[in-house]
């Protein structure tokens, strides 16, 4: 088991959340991940990381699998200029590689914004620290446990 997956398991336990982690059998697209766990595309969440200005700080936007984050709307919400964070900054701040950024277990806490459309579902699937693992959770419960701000930031 990878260090990242172990860190997510520990974070779930610390937050008092059920460990529902499962493998997505090498899924490389949102559709493939949805097929692997038997849900709709928009029930697979994506973690989009932006860099705040010229700092080494990041902000996480969690959105439905079929949605795209609107950077301009996001900048209005955050009240900062945002650019796409590179892989090295994402790894350094979250501890996770692109494609596996979990909403829990970050090395350095960051602001988190949550796509309001995810609340339409009873359960969603989110990255569990690696590109090949996800966990199932209620979007209401997740947004509460990670202190995410529910927002409209999609295109």
Strand order in the sheet with 112-115: 82-84, 45-52, 58-64, 112-115, 149-151
The whole-chain average pLDDT of the chain stands at: 96
pLDDT, tens only, 106-144? 999 999 999 999 999 999 999 999 999 999 999 999 999
The ranges assigned to domains in the chain are 3-151
The Cα 21–Cα 39 span in angstroms is 15
- Compute the average pLDDT of residues 73-94: 97
Q: Residue 26: its pLDDT value, please?
A: 83
Q: Residue 1: its pLDDT value, please?
A: 84
The Cα 4–Cα 146 span in angstroms is 18
Per the CATH hierarchy, to which homologous superfamily does domain 3-151 belong?
YbaK/aminoacyl-tRNA synthetase-associated domain (3.90.960.10)
Of the pLDDT bands very low, low, confident and very high (cuts 50, 70, 90), residue 22 is very high
SS3 83: strand
Of the pLDDT bands very low, low, confident and very high (cuts 50, 70, 90), residue 63 is very high
| Interior angle at CA 85, CA 40 and CA 77, nearest 5 | 70
Q: Which pTM does this prediction carry?
A: 0.95
């Amino acid at each position: 088991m990878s260090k990242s997956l172990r860190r997510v398991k520990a974070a779930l336990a610390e937050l008092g959340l059920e460990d529902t982690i499962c493998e997505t059998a090498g899924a490389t697209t949102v559709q493939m991940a949805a097929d692997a766990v038997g849900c709709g595309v928009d029930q697979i969440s994506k973690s989009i990381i932006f860099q705040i200005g010229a700092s080494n700080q990041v902000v996480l936007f969690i959105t439905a699998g079929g949605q795209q984050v609107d950077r301009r709307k996001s900048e209005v919400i955050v009240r900062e200029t945002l650019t796409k964070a590179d892989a090295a900054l994402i790894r350094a701040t979250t501890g996770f590689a692109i494609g596996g950024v979990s909403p829990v277990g970050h090395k350095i806490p960051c602001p988190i914004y949550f796509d309001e459309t995810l609340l339409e579902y009873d359960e969603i699937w989110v990255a569990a620290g690696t590109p090949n693992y996800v966990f199932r959770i209620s979007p209401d419960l997740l947004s509460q446990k990670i202190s995410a701000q529910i927002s409209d930031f999609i295109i």
